[in-house]
Structure 1
Amino acid sequence: MEEIEASQYRIPKGVQGKAGCVGTVVEGECIATGEPVAIKEVDLQSKRYQKVFQNELYAMEKLAGSDKLVDIHSAFVRGDHGYIVMEKLDNDLLHFVLDKGRLEEPQAKEIFYKVLQAVKYMHDNSFSHRDIKPENILIEMNDKECTVKLCDFGTAKEFTKKEFVTGVCGTVLYCAPEVKMRIPYDPRKADVYSLGVLLHVMLTGLFPFEAQYTEKPKPDDVPDAVIVYDMLSKEAASLIELMLRPSPKARISLQEILKHSWLKKHHKAAKVKLRDHIPHSLSTLRQKLNKQ
Structure 2
Amino acid sequence: MYNFEEELGRGHFSIVKKAQHVLSKDMVAVKIIDKTTLQDDELDHLHHEVRVMKLIRHPHVIRLYQVCNTNTKLYLILELGEGGDLYEYLTKNGKMDEPRAQRLFRQIAEAVAFCHQHHIAHRDLKPENCVFATRKHEEEEETIKVTDFGLSNDFKPGEKMKTACGSLCYSCPEVLLQEPYDGPLADIWSLGVILFMMVTGRLPFQEPNDYQTITKIVDVKFEIPAFVSNECKDLISRLLVKEPSDRISLAEILAHPWLEGVVINLPSATPYANGRPVISDEQHERILATMSAAGLDPTKVTAALDNRSYDYLASTYFLLAERERPSFPVLIF
TM-score, normalized by the shorter chain, greater than 0.5: yes
Q: Partner letter of residue 225 of structure 2?
A: Y
Q: How does 1:1-292 map to 2 (within 5 A)?
A: 8-12=1-5, 16-19=7-10, 23-44=14-35, 45-47=37-39, 49-63=42-56, 65-78=57-70, 80-91=72-83, 92-139=85-132, 140=134, 142=136, 145-210=141-206, 213-215=207-209, 217=210, 221=214, 223-224=216-217, 225=220, 226-267=222-263, 270-272=266-268, 276=276, 280-281=309-310
Name the SS of the counterpart of 2:161 in structure 1: coil
38-47 or 168-177, which deviates more: 38-47
Name the SS of the counterpart of 1:98 in structure 2: helix
Provide closer, same or farther for how the CA distance between residues 271 and 281 of structure 1 changes in structure 2, counting only shifts above 3 A. Answer: closer
Greater strand fraction, Structure 1 or Structure 2: 1
Larger radius of gyration: 2
- Distance in 2, matches of 1:239 and 1:21, equals 37
Provide closer, same or farther for how the CA distance between residues 137 and 56 of structure 1 changes in structure 2, counting only shifts above 3 A. Answer: same
- Distance in 1, matches of 2:177 and 2:9, equals 30
Q: Partner letter of residue 136 of structure 1?
A: N
- Distance in 1, matches of 2:162 and 2:197, equals 26
Runs of 5+ consecutive residues of structure 2 not aligned to the other structure: 278-304, 312-333
Q: Partner letter of residue 66 of structure 1?
A: H
Provide closer, same or farther for how the CA distance between residues 129 and 144 of structure 1 changes in structure 2, counting only shifts above 3 A. Answer: same
What count of residue pairs does the alignment treat as equivalent?
269
135-144 or 53-62, which deviates more: 135-144
Q: Which deviations, in whole Å up to 9, do the C-alpha atoms of 1:216-270 show, x marking residues without a partner?
A: x269835224133324111111111110111101211111111211112444895
- Distance in 2, matches of 1:131 and 1:90, equals 21
- Distance in 1, matches of 2:14 and 2:124, equals 14
* Identical columns (%): 27
> What's 2:300 paired with?
none
2:103/2:264 contact within 8 Å kept? no
2:160/2:182 contact within 8 Å kept? yes
Give the Å deviation of 1:122.
0.7
Q: Cα RMSD (Å) of the superposition?
A: 2.7
TM-score by length of 2: 0.72
> What's 1:3 paired with?
none
- Distance in 2, matches of 1:19 and 1:231, equals 39
- Distance in 1, matches of 2:154 and 2:212, equals 24
Q: Which deviations, in whole Å up to 9, do the C-alpha atoms of 1:166-225 show, x marking residues without a partner?
A: 211121211111122222211110000000000011111111023xx224x269835224
Q: Partner letter of residue 61 of structure 2?
A: L
TM-score by length of 1: 0.82
Q: Which deviations, in whole Å up to 9, do the C-alpha atoms of 1:1-35 show, x marking residues without a partner?
A: xxxxxxx33445xx543246864432122233332
Give the Å deviation of 1:73.
1.1
- Distance in 1, matches of 2:156 and 2:13, equals 27
- Distance in 1, matches of 2:158 and 2:89, equals 37
